[in-house]
Amino acid sequence: MIETKNLTKVYKRGIESVYAVKDVTLSIKKGEFVSIVGQSGSGKTTLLQIIGCMDMATSGILKINDNEIQNSSNKTMTKLRRETFGFVFQQFYLMPGLTVYENMVMPLLFSRNKSDKAYVDSLIEIVGLKGKEYNLPSQISGGEMQRVAIARSLINKPQCILADEPTGNLDSSNSEKIFELFSRLNETGLTIIMVTHNQDLAKRTKRIIEIKDGAIR
């Protein structure tokens, strides 16, 4: 469902050019569970952002479901983020004033999708947050916060989850829970691309892409 060809992202730092992503050509099929590994600063986040239509590549081709995305309008990019992708961040980014439930359904405000009660309930069940729906983020643990964020990424029924170091702020047992959750979601056919530092977790995914200095090794 995702194809890139010679994808490159250059940042200008003064007169110096930094190749955050360099000639990346890859193809990820529907239903894959891919981990992206590499040292800090190797360009993993930048690559994930370009794939997820949050950022534009400087050059190269990006195809999502066989549609070329390069030079698309803002609207098209927003639509893809809203409908095709779900994002999970290292810092969770829950809204502090909203309950667990409200944080989960927040993207519905923008997709104008009707809140499907049965689906939301099933999500709460899947991420294991039953009984905590009306807690505020400050009242739950880090592992639980990340599970709220995962439920939020699933609310618009995306085809692909993009997770940037989702376990980076969690201890090993919580990391394990998040990974298991991703594995189960992947078994239902969801494509998952996960950037991680955790070698053990990466080894358990079906495919590992290693990045060094912006390029695939």
Partner 1 sequence: MNLFSLSYKNLLRHKTRFFLTLLAIMSSTAVLFSLLSFHRGFDRELSKELENTGVHFMIVPSGCPHEVASLILHGAVIPKFLSPDLLKEVNKLDSIALVTPILVFQMANQQKASVVLIYGLEFDALKTLKPHWKINGSLPSNDREIILGYEIAQHDNLKVGDNYPIGQALYRISAVLEKTGSQDDAFVYLSIKNAQGLLKKDDAFTALAVKVKDTANINEVIESLTKDIPGIQIVTISQILNSLSSVANSAKILSLSVAFIAIIISAIGLMNSILMSAFERRQETGMMRAVGAGRLDIFLIYTIESVLQTFTGSIMGIVISLIGSKAIETIVKKMMPYSPSGEMITFNLDIALMCLALSLSIGLIVAFYPAWIASRISPVEAIKS
Ligand X SMILES: Nc1ncnc2c1ncn2[C@@H]1O[C@H](COP(=O)(O)OP(=O)(O)O)[C@@H](O)[C@H]1O
Residue of 45, 84, 174, 175 interacting with ligand X (CB under 6 A)? 45
38 binds, among partner 1, Mg ion, ligand X, none (CB under 5 to 8 A by kind): ligand X
Q: Does 40 bind ligand X (CB under 6 A)?
A: yes
Helix (H) or strand (E) holding 62: strand 59-64
Residue type, 45: T
Instruction: Report the alpha-carbon distance of residue 107 to residue 157 in Å, rounded.
Output: 11
CB 104 → ligand X: shortest distance, Å? 26
Shortest CB 213 distance to ligand X, Å: 9
Give the binding range for ligand X (CB under 6 A) out of 25-33, 44-52, 97-105, 184-192: 44-52
Query: Could you tell me which residues come within 8 angstroms of residue 149 by beta carbon, excluding any fewer than 6 positions away?
Result: 88, 89, 92, 93, 94, 103, 166
Give CA angle at 65 (61, 67), nearest 5°: 50
Between 46 and 174, CB nearer to ligand X: 46
Return the number of the residue (45 or 99) whose C-beta is nearest Mg ion.
45
CB of 75 to partner 1, least distance (A): 7
Taking every pair of C-alpha atoms in the chain, what is the biggest distance, in angstroms? 55
Q: Is residue 106 classed exposed, middle or buried when 0-12, 13-18 and 19+ CB atoms within 10 A define those classes?
A: middle
Q: Among residues 108 and 208, whose Cβ is nearest to partner 1?
A: 108
| Beta pairing, strands 33-38 & 85-88 | unpaired
Letters for 7-36 (x = contact with ligand X by CB under 6 A, - = none) are: ----x-x----x-x----------------
Nearer to partner 1, 103 or 200 (CB): 103
* Alpha-carbon gap, residue 38 to 102, rounded angstroms: 35
Partner that binds at residue 42, options ligand X, Mg ion, partner 1, none, CB closer than 5 to 8 Å by kind: ligand X
Strands 160-164 and 207-212: unpaired
Closest distance to Mg ion from the beta carbon of 114 (Å): 35
Residues at the site binding partner 1, with contacts judged by CB under 8 A: 45, 48-49, 52, 54-55, 74-75, 78, 81-83, 86-87, 89-91, 93, 95-98, 102, 105-111, 152-153, 156, 164
φ/ψ of 20, rounded to 5, equals: -70, -35
Per CB under 6 A, residues contacting ligand X are 11, 13, 18, 20, 38, 40-46
